[in-house]
Amino acid sequence: MEELKLKVLELLKQDARHTPAVIATMLDAAEADVKQAIEELEKDHVIVKYATVVNWSKVSEEKVTALIEVQITPERGRGFEGIAERIYLYPEVKSVYLMSGAYDLLVEIEGPTLKDVASFVSNKLSPIDAVLSTKTFFILKKYKQDGIIYEEHEDDHRLLISP
């Protein structure tokens, strides 16, 4: 059953709209087994959510996304967990990662304007006692995310000129 679950996860990651019947056909498995595998994966929180990938640059609604490197002082007894939780509970925060290297957390936030993102950093993130420093990077354009290419490739139609 574990091998089936892994194959189901791969197919759902490619396209979450696949029905158990379609997955069963693709894997040459029983539909009941696929349904059971999906139910168990959902129950065990392996499948956390089904989501749509949106290329927001093609939609009229403007969004500003920033990545923030955060250096923090770990809390006694909890390490980075408590501070990470305090940060990820803000609605503006899309992702928080514990990192190795020059900084401790990488925080991805989203806001309607550059001013809103800057306000989050200066008024909510930086004042946290354990935060030592922040470094903010604004995303100008997404080319590829989660294995999905956002822009269609255009062929080069220029004429070849040789000496």
In the chain, CATH 3.30.70.920 covers: 61-142
Q: By the 8 A CB rule, do 111 and 92 touch?
A: yes
- Which numeric CATH code is attached to 2-43? 1.10.10
pLDDT at 46 over 80: yes
- Asked if residue 63 has pLDDT above 90, the reply is no
* Location of each CATH 1.10.10 domain in the chain: 2-43
Could you report the per-residue pLDDT of 93-145, keeping only the tens digit for each?
999 999 999 999 999 999 999 999 999 999 999 999 999 999 999 999 888 88
Residues 6+ apart with CB under 8 A from 89: none
Write down the pTM of the prediction. Answer: 0.74
CATH of 61-142, picked from 3.40.50.2300, 3.40.50.300, 3.30.70.920, 3.20.20.80, is 3.30.70.920
Structure confidence at residue 31 as a pLDDT band (50, 70, 90)? very high
Buried b (16+ CB within 10 A) or exposed e, 121-157: beeebeeeebbeebebeeeeeeeeeeeeeeeeeeeee
